[in-house]
Amino acid sequence: MFEILLDATVRAGTPILFATLGAIINERAGIINLGIEGLMLIGALAGFAATQASGSLLLGVLAAFVAAMLAGSIHGFITVQLRGNQIVSGLALTMFGIGITALFGRSMVGLTIAGFERVAIPGLSKLPVIGKPFFNQDLLIYFSFLLVVVISLFFYRPRWGLALRTVGENPAAADTCGVPVILARFMAVTIGSGIVGIGGAYLSLATTPMWIENMTAGRGWIAVALVIFASWSSYRALAGAYLFGGITAMQLRFQAMGTTVSVHILQMMPYFFTILVLVISTIRLQKGASQQPENLGQPYDREDRK
């Protein structure tokens, strides 16, 4: 019973995990990206369409990454190069994503593909309790584990990671050290967006191998909130994503058990918790526990006269 619940937790948490990781990369470079929901949808549709056409799941994931990256580069260009308003541009990106996927997804409705299948890792999957939920999963889930570690190492080990964090904290300092601020920010936005796209593709290639209009159902917004909950750390993003995965799994379980509580109330739970998490994290932020990049949301203009 617990094993099944944990398994469902990981599967429900993974798309949110990818999206949160992508958003963290954006925000570490100082750019707020509210286009996550739209980027996930674009990733979901591109992934599904590519797999449907080619029969290859790998190509699907790749297509999701590239499509979301291209869409994210619009946000990058507007906010980094043109120094536009990050909130407005991000919201527009989400609406763009919802609209364009509804339009091009129409012909995909009702088609099916063979989605990701479980691959048991020999040895590890035999572990009691955590064996099956964590090590008898599909390849994308293993990839997400890897990504959590790689992103954390990237932030703290190589010089590029240091440059990326400095660009988000104090772009002028990075600039005077010779870091190409504009390029670094743009790269962070596009690559981060691509990873968000993989989160979307997980929905259409693994969770339910089909295309449904607006299938992300607000998961992108949960990811935006989780970035703050995770204080911009990839490990805490993992914990946060699984917390939400757990709530989703639990409410599905309750529905299956046929409780008398209204389905609508149960379905509301993840979103209700998002609000709760935001309140708690904001209070923590105000108490000074912040890891928030200092220049988050601020455009950088070298010739700005201060």
Partner 1 sequence: MHMTDLLQIQNIRKTFPGVVALDDVSLSIAPGEIHTLLGENGAGKSTLMNVLTGLYRPDRGELLFDGSPVHFSSPRDSLNIGIGMVHQHFMLVPAHTVFENILLALDGVANFFSRRKYKVKIQQVLDQFELDLDLDTPVWKLSIGAQQWIELIKLLVRDCRLLILDEPTAVLTPQESARLFQVLTRLRDQGKSVLFISHKMREVMEISDRVTVLKKGCSLVTLPRGEYDENRLASLMIGEDQIPMWIKPACKYEELALEIKNLSVRNDRGLADLDKFSMKLYRGQILGVAGVAGNGQKALAEVLTGLKEASSGRILAKGKDITNSTAKSSYIAGIAHIPEDRKSIGIAPDMTVDDNLIMKNFNSRAFRRWIFQDRAAIRKNATAKIDQFAIKAGPDGNPIRYLSGGNIQKVIIARELSEKPSVLVALYPTRGLDIGSAEYVHKVVIDGANQGMSTILISEDLDELLKLSDEIVVMFRGRLVGCVNPQTTTREEIGLLMSGEVQR
Contact positions toward partner 1, by CB under 8 A?
Answer: 157-160, 162-163, 165-166, 169-170, 172-180, 286-288, 291, 294, 302-303, 305-306
- Closer residue to partner 1 (CB): 136 or 298: 298
Smallest gap, in angstroms, from Cβ of residue 305 to partner 1? 6
Q: What are the tokens at 236?
A: 């805490």
Smallest gap, in angstroms, from Cβ of residue 74 to partner 1? 25
- Closer residue to partner 1 (CB): 41 or 184: 184
- Closer residue to partner 1 (CB): 180 or 218: 180
Beta bridge partner(s), residue 137 = 119
- Is the CB of residue 237 less than 8 Å from the CB of residue 17? yes
Smallest gap, in angstroms, from Cβ of residue 196 to partner 1? 25
- Closer residue to partner 1 (CB): 160 or 235: 160
Q: How far apart are CA 166 and CA 160, in angstroms?
A: 10
Within 10 Å of residue 244's Cβ, how many Cβ atoms?
27
Q: How far apart are CA 95 and CA 102, in angstroms?
A: 11
Within 10 Å of residue 190's Cβ, how many Cβ atoms?
22
Smallest gap, in angstroms, from Cβ of residue 286 to partner 1? 8
- Closer residue to partner 1 (CB): 26 or 166: 166
Contacts of 268 by beta carbon, 8 Å cutoff, 6+ apart = none
Residue whose structure tokens are 């790749």: 62
Q: How far apart are CA 68 and CA 205, in angstroms?
A: 16
Smallest gap, in angstroms, from Cβ of residue 233 to partner 1? 13
